[in-house]
């Protein structure tokens, strides 16, 4: 019904407005006609009386003149007649007229002055009637009287116009009634016709498409005959056939071509995992939730927000395919409002396909587990970015407690599921695999470590390294981005715990349980067939548009996209740009670098201070070089949507990814995926995991300012042919090794692990 009203409401409003305008026109026309008719009758009557009255003026006030005035005063709507002498005194007047008209009215004065007939309509609020209390609405018509060719007086006719107002009101009433009836009849008929011929057939078609999308096959709905619906029915039928064909093709491809050659897509991932999971649900646990709910600051309405995360992009298609469960920290201000009594919410909100289970943490727990141990301890420890890790006993207590809370939630969700499959995410849950495995030995457990794993000497700084390694070894499969991180982990195992490390097959046997360690380079979803913003603009046009929006001038644009984190090499990047402008002053006033820096973890002092350092460094460099509307660095300290960032990717001549240490860094791959024009240069730190997959980027040491400056110059001077060759090779790599392939390989390896007969290898005794 709402759709019908949306369609019909403009028609209802239009009919009502037109009817009201027509009613107003009728009323105005009726009033004008009535007044015009009265004016003409007054003129005719005045002319006839003028010929009769003028001969009687010779005798002054006489009974004959008074009788004449009284006789004509009896006519319809004529309120009275008066004759005034040249001085304006009434010499004959109808008895019914108010005493105010014993003196000549202003209308008569104007007629005498103009020596011609003059008429005027008077109302209660008109200036002419302002001093006449007993005068109602009337029309006054005056004619000058002559004697021997000289002005001798004035003849005035007074008509009562109240009947005009009455008739106008009747006309208005009838017009409004007609307008209301017409509006109701037309609107009712329109609603019936729209529902019968438009919305009902569309609703049936939408229902049919919904069943096709879910894999069911029903007969197409009957639609009305007509040019539009014939075309719609034809196109929808073709779409249904194509959808069925695509589904069949994807299923066949997933069955027969489960290899690295073909491109992985979300649909192929769903089909592949559906068969491998064998109708079993998948359980995912992460600190970040895929959908959070927050109150809008202005309207206070609840909004659903999808955090920017490659993990969400990779894992969600799998959960949708198997109706799985995602366990995460409920961090949104309105999360409790949308969760049920069991802390569940079906997501995505617009098409619920899997379950989100939220775990609630107090501010103290979040501060100790997340801000403290995870991000002030493990994060700087693993990244080796020259920020000293801080390990507090109280943070460790919270980390253990929160891992237990999440493990209990996972076990609760697993109840009733035989041989469940769990995928844990990142350094927040190093203890969770052991906790789950001890309670559910039949579960297949994997954890993916998204950040680097340092060498054993560095990891040995952590006072609880043994507990962390033991917790991770509770998993059946541990994934890292690159092989060197796997090597570092196995070396750490050798030093931290008693276990048999099988370097030949990258596995660890601890107390009879085997944990496999594998590299799975994460990636991005590669958009095919052009999904970029403003596709009609080329890079130069987009660059000009962005510079205009930023209020700067520049013919060359560089871009960096990062959380404001000390591991991302932002300050080193700025200093490289400064040195570049010193070495190559010709690029001053031409090259502008835009740093999109999303503030991160502002509750931690190190991050808050680093944001201030980044801002101060940008201001210092701008103060050196800025001239007019040009400045070398534009720092945007706020979160940007993926669509906004894509515009900068497409416009940039060079993208700088200068991490001091990074597990992968998906910005490099996002930039490559966005460059459908096969132009632009990626400048990439050798300390980012992405450098192992994208050798066609310009690889740099972010600590070497001279090398950074030379690389920027080389990027800006690179011929288009070389840019295209490098970008084509990188795009092929990212397309083939996308995020769906990452998820497929990781989960495929996990599902193939046998847990019914665990391997038990004895640790050899040293004599």
Q: Are residues 436 and 571 in the same domain?
A: no
Contacts for 705 with CB less than 8 Å, ≥ 6 apart: 572, 575, 576, 579
Structure confidence by residue, pLDDT tens digits, 600-635? 888 899 999 999 999 999 999 999 999 999 999 999
Q: Are residues 512 and 494 in the same domain?
A: yes
| Distance set, CA 501 to CA 305, 486, 598, 761 (Å) | 43, 12, 41, 11
User: 657 has which bridge partners?
Assistant: 684
CATH of the domain at 582: 3.40.50.2000
The mean pLDDT of the chain is 86
Q: Are residues 489 and 580 in the same domain?
A: no
Q: Encoding tokens for residue 341?
A: 């009594």
Beta carbons of 519 and 483 less than 8 angstroms apart:
yes
pLDDT of 257 > 60? The answer is: no
Instruction: Give domain status of residue 728, yes or no.
Output: yes
pLDDT of 764 > 60? The answer is: no
Lowest mean pLDDT among 83-87, 453-457, 508-512: 83-87
Instruction: Give domain status of residue 171, yes or no.
Output: no
**Dist. CA 429–CA 378, nearest whole Å:** 11
Q: Which domain holds residue 564?
A: 539-737
Q: What pLDDT is attached to residue 74?
A: 62
Is the pTM value of this prediction over 0.85?
no
Instruction: Give domain status of residue 755, yes or no.
Output: no
Q: Are residues 499 and 557 in the same domain?
A: no
Instruction: Give domain status of residue 500, yes or no.
Output: yes
Lowest mean pLDDT among 63-67, 368-372, 692-696: 63-67
In degrees, rounded to 5, the angle at the alpha carbon of residue 297 between the alpha carbons of residues 296 and 298 is 95
The residue whose two tokens read 């107090």 is 362
Q: Encoding tokens for residue 429?
A: 């849950």
Instruction: Give domain status of residue 69, yes or no.
Output: yes
Instruction: Give domain status of residue 384, yes or no.
Output: no
Q: How many domains is the chain built from?
A: 4
Average the pLDDT over 97-103 and give the result.
Answer: 83
Other CB atoms within 10 Å distance of the CB of residue 199: 19
pLDDT of 60 > 70? The answer is: no
**Dist. CA 163–CA 180, nearest whole Å:** 26
The residue whose two tokens read 């046997």 is 509
Which one of 60-69, 241-250, 303-312, 550-559 scores highest in mean pLDDT?
550-559
**Dist. CA 266–CA 247, nearest whole Å:** 12
In degrees, rounded to 5, the angle at the alpha carbon of residue 273 between the alpha carbons of residues 269 and 274 is 115
Q: Encoding tokens for residue 610?
A: 């680093």
- Res. 532 pLDDT band, cuts 50 70 90: very low
User: Considering the chain, what percentage of its residues have pLDDT values greater than 70?
Assistant: 86
Instruction: Give domain status of residue 281, yes or no.
Output: yes
In angstroms, the first-to-last Cα distance of the chain is 85
Q: What pLDDT is attached to residue 43?
A: 87
Angle between helices 642-651 and 666-674 (to 10 degrees): 70
Domain final residue pick, 133, 165, 197: 165
Higher pLDDT, 763 or 595: 595
Structure confidence by residue, pLDDT tens digits, 320-347? 878 899 999 999 989 999 999 999 999 9
Length of the chain as a residue count: 767
Structure confidence by residue, pLDDT tens digits, 153-194? 898 988 888 888 888 888 888 888 888 888 888 888 877 777
H helical segments located in 526-665: 539-550, 570-583, 605-625, 642-651
Beta carbons of 433 and 471 less than 8 angstroms apart:
yes
Lowest mean pLDDT among 261-265, 374-378, 559-563: 261-265
Instruction: Give domain status of residue 49, yes or no.
Output: yes
Q: Are residues 613 and 499 in the same domain?
A: no
Q: What pLDDT is attached to residue 767?
A: 36
Q: Are residues 478 and 332 in the same domain?
A: yes
Domain final residue pick, 274, 297, 331: 274
Q: Encoding tokens for residue 692?
A: 């192992």
Q: Are residues 410 and 548 in the same domain?
A: no
SS3 556: strand
Structure confidence by residue, pLDDT tens digits, 563-587? 999 999 999 999 999 999 999 999 9
**Dist. CA 621–CA 669, nearest whole Å:** 29
Beta carbons of 325 and 277 less than 8 angstroms apart:
no
pLDDT of 424 > 70? The answer is: yes
Beta carbons of 569 and 597 less than 8 angstroms apart:
no
**Dist. CA 767–CA 144, nearest whole Å:** 145
Q: What pLDDT is attached to residue 317?
A: 76
The dihedral built from the CA positions of residue 640, 642, 644 and 648, taken in this order, carries a sign that is positive
**Dist. CA 477–CA 456, nearest whole Å:** 20
Beta carbons of 552 and 631 less than 8 angstroms apart:
yes
CATH of the domain at 159: 3.30.450.20
Q: Are residues 504 and 569 in the same domain?
A: no
Nearest to 344 by CA among 358, 333, 354: 358
Strands 513-519 and 477-480: parallel
Which one of 48-57, 117-126, 254-263, 554-563 scores highest in mean pLDDT?
554-563
Q: What pLDDT is attached to residue 153?
A: 87
Q: Are residues 628 and 698 in the same domain?
A: yes
pLDDT of 129 > 60? The answer is: no
- Res. 303 pLDDT band, cuts 50 70 90: confident
Q: Are residues 435 and 407 in the same domain?
A: yes
Structure confidence by residue, pLDDT tens digits, 481-521? 999 999 999 999 999 999 999 999 999 999 999 999 999 99
Structure confidence by residue, pLDDT tens digits, 687-713? 999 999 999 999 999 999 999 999 999
Other CB atoms within 10 Å distance of the CB of residue 669: 29
Q: Are residues 133 and 151 in the same domain?
A: yes
Q: Are residues 514 and 549 in the same domain?
A: no
pLDDT of 454 > 90? The answer is: yes
Domain final residue pick, 144, 165, 186: 165
Structure confidence by residue, pLDDT tens digits, 196-207? 777 777 777 777
């Amino acid at each position: 019904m709402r759709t019908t009203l949306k369609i019909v409401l403009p028609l209802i409003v239009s009919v009502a407005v037109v009817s009201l305008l027509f009613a107003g026109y009728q009323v105005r026309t009726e009033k004008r006609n009535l007044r015009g008719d009265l004016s003409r009758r007054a003129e005719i009557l005045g002319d006839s009386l003028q010929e009769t009255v003028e001969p009687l003026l010779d005798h002054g006030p006489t009974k004959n003149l008074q009788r004449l005035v009284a006789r004509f005063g009896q006519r319809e709507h004529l309120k009275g007649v008066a004759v005034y002498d040249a001085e304006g005194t009434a010499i004959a007047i109808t008895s019914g007229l108010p005493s105010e008209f014993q003196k000549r009215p202003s209308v008569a004065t104007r007629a005498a002055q103009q020596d011609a007939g003059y008429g005027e309509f008077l109302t209660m609020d008109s200036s002419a009637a302002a001093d006449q209390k007993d005068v109602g609405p009337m029309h006054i018509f005056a004619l000058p009287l002559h004697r021997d060719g000289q002005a001798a007086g004035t003849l005035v006719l007074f008509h009562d116009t109240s009947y005009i107002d009455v008739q106008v009101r009747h006309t208005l009433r009838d017009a409004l009634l007609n307008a209301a009836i017409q509006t109701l009849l037309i609107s009712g008929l329109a609603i019936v016709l729209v529902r019968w011929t438009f919305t009902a057939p569309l609703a049936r078609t939408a229902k049919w498409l919904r069943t096709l999308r879910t894999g069911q096959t029903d007969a197409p709905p009957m639609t009305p005959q007509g040019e539009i619906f014939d075309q719609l029915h034809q196109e929808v039928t073709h779409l249904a056939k194509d959808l069925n064909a695509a589904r069949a093709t994807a299923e066949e491809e997933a069955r027969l071509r489960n290899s690295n050659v073909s491109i992985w897509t979300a649909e192929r991932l769903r089909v592949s995992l559906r068969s491998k999971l064998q109708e079993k649900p998948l359980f995912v646990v992460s600190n970040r939730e895929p959908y959070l709910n927050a109150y809008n600051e202005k309207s206070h309405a609840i909004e659903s927000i999808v955090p920017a995360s490659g993990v969400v992009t990779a894992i969600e298609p799998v959960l949708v395919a198997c109706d799985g469960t995602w366990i995460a920290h409920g961090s949104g201000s309105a999360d409790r409002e949308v969760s049920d009594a069991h802390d569940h919410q079906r997501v995505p909100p617009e098409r619920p396909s899997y379950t989100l289970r939220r775990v609630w943490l107090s501010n103290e727990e979040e501060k100790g587990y997340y801000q403290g141990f995870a991000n002030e301890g493990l994060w700087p420890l693993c990244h080796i970015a020259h920020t000293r890790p801080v390990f507090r006993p109280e943070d460790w207590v919270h980390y253990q407690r929160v891992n237990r809370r999440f493990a209990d939630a996972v076990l609760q969700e697993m109840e009733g599921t035989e041989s469940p499959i769990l995928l844990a995410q990142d350094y927040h849950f190093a203890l969770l695999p052991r906790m789950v495995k001890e309670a559910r030995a039949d579960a297949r457990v994997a954890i993916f470590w998204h950040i680097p794993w340092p060498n054993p000497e560095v990891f040995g700084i952590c006072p609880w390294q043994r507990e962390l390694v033991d917790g991770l070894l509770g998993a059946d499969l541990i994934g890292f981005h690159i092989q060197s991180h796997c090597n570092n982990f196995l070396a750490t195992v050798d030093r931290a715990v008693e276990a048999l490390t099988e370097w030949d097959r990258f596995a660890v046997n601890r107390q009879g349980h085997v944990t496999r360690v594998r590299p799975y380079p994460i990636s991005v979803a590669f958009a095919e067939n052009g999904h970029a913003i403003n596709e009609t603009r080329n890079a130069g046009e987009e660059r000009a548009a962005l510079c205009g929006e930023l209020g700067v001038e520049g013919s060359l644009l560089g871009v960096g996209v990062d959380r404001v984190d000390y591991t991302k090499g932002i300050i080193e990047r700025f200093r490289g740009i400064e040195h570049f402008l010193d070495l190559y002053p010709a690029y001053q006033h031409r090259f502008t670098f835009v740093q999109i820096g999303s503030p991160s973890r502002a509750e931690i002092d190190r991050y808050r201070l680093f944001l201030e350092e980044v801002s101060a460094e940008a201001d210092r460099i701008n103060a050196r070089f800025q001239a007019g509307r040009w400045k070398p660095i534009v720092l945007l300290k706020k979160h940007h949507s993926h669509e906004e960032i894509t515009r900068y990717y497409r416009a940039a001549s060079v993208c700088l990814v200068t991490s001091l240490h990074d597990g992968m860094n998906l910005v490099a791959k996002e930039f490559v995926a966005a460059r459908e024009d096969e132009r632009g240069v990626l400048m990439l730190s050798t300390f980012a995991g992405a450098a192992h997959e994208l050798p066609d980027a310009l690889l740099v040491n972010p600590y070497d300012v001279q090398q950074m400056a030379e690389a920027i110059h080389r990027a800006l001077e690179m011929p288009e042919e070389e840019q295209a060759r490098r970008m084509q090779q990188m795009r092929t790599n990212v397309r083939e090794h996308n995020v769906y392939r990452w998820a497929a390989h990781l989960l495929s390896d996990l599902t193939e692990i046998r847990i019914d007969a665990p391997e038990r290898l004895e640790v050899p005794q040293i004599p």
